[in-house]
Structures are given as C-alpha cells and as structure tokens.
Amino acid sequence: MINKGEIINDILVQLGVSTTVAFYTDTILEDWTDKAHKWAAGYKKWPFTEGRISTTYVADSATEVGFNYPEGWKPDSIRLLQVGGKRFKKTNFYKYQEFRENYSSDTEKIFSDNGNLYFINPNADVSGTTTLWGQYTPATLAETDNTITTVFSNAAEEGNEAIVEEVMSYAKKKEKKLAEAFKHHERATEILTEIWERIKDEQAMYQTVNDDGMFERFDVLRGSFQEDIKRDRWF
C-alpha cells in the first residue's frame, strides 16, 4: 500500500463491505483514514516528519514578543536553530526570560521556545538567514485525491498497515465490538513500535565527533575554559 486509495481499499476488503453501505460511507472512511494517519504520524518523533525551514532574520522588537513557529510544526519541537550559519543553544524558556532580564545586553547565542513561538537573543551579533530544524505535523489527507501518500509511504510502508489497523479499530468500535477494536489498535501500535525499534537500531550506529562531550573543559587553576587557554604561556 502506497497511497490513500490503496489504504481505503484494503480497509474495505477487511470489512467485507463497500461504501454503498450507509454504515461505512466514503466520508466516514476518509475521516477515519485521516485521523489514523495523524495518530500514527504523531506516535513517535519519526525521522520522516523532520523538517527544515529558512527565513530572513530581523533583530528588532519582534524578537522580544517571539517569532511564530513555522505553520504545521509541533510546539516545542525546534531542535536546532542557526542564524547566518551560527548555531544557537536552546535553553529553558523561563531561564531564557531570566537571562534576558538579568543580562539584557549579553551577546550569548541562545534561543528558546514556548508554545507556538520561538525567541532569539536579539543582542547576538548575527545577521542573515534563520534556519530551523524540527518536527512537523502532516497535512490533512485531501478527500478528493486518492493518490496522495502518507508520511510512511516512501520510508516505512508498514506504517500504512498500522493506519489500516487503527481504522479497523474505529470500525469495530462503531459496531460495538470493543474486544476486536482493542486487538486492532494493539496491532497498530505493535507495527509502529517495530518500525521505531528498527530506526533506533540504525541511529545507534551514528558516530560522534572527537570533540563532542557533555561538558566544556575547565582550567581549575586559571579559572578559564579550555579553548581560552594559550599554549606555551608564562603568565
């Protein structure tokens, strides 16, 4: 199964009915498929729902009231932010507000987000393009287009089977067959969990760079960070 039309056809086959039956109209199946797709797409932070978007950066009063999240992105999902190619460190929103109050002229490259807004320290000496990486919510599956694909179609097609199973759970609830509904929902979650485990196995193979670490190295005697230490100094 690749597209929405094939998914709905498989649902009809499993139900053993056609959409001429008033109990399962085209509209009902369209709505259920869209609902199940959104549920499955949000079940985990899938790599195939990761996105990137760029916009022109303007450091002005708008920075203090916050910039709007990209349309369709999940709240609090920005993982990486760069301005003019310079990476900003993500901080807790309340700590960010405290920082802006206590160090109102500090140029540290930090950002935070809250709800559907993100905030960039306006004193950071940067300009150019803001680039964001984060997680988006898939658009509604268009009712008039049966060729439209899901987020799983070109990445993990088993996810479409999970969508079918979830729609089947809705159908069995409608038929008041709650035990069967639970089994279909359980199977849907099993399929998605299997996909997620496979993704985690692949991600476990990622290598870190040599200078990656949890903490910056600190010179206890001199009271400075490792990158500030000059070699062969006599003071």
Q: 68 CB contacts (<8 Å, ≥6 apart)?
A: 116, 117
Higher pLDDT, 23 or 113: 113
Please tell me the chain's helix, strand, coil percentages from 3-state DSSP, rounded to the nearest 5: 40, 20, 40
Average of pLDDT values for 31-54? 92
Q: Does 120 reside within a domain?
A: yes
Q: Does 96 reside within a domain?
A: yes
Does one domain contain both 146 and 196?
yes
Does one domain contain both 110 and 164?
no
pTM for this entry: 0.75
Does one domain contain both 132 and 143?
no
Q: 195-215: string of b/e by CB count within 10 Å (b at 16+)?
A: beeebeeeeeeeeeeeeeeee
Domain that holds residue 190: 4-42+139-203
Q: 145 CB contacts (<8 Å, ≥6 apart)?
A: 4
Tens digits of residue pLDDT in 165-205: 999 999 999 999 999 999 999 999 999 999 999 998 877 66
Number of domains in the chain: 2
According to the model, what pLDDT value does residue 142 have?
72
Does one domain contain both 65 and 103?
yes
Does one domain contain both 159 and 174?
yes
Q: 11 CB contacts (<8 Å, ≥6 apart)?
A: 29, 33, 164, 167, 168, 171
pLDDT mean across residues, the chain: 84
According to the model, what pLDDT value does residue 207 have?
61
Q: 106 CB contacts (<8 Å, ≥6 apart)?
A: 99, 121, 123
Q: Helices marked H in the chain — which ranges?
A: 4-15, 26-41, 62-65, 93-102, 158-174, 178-203
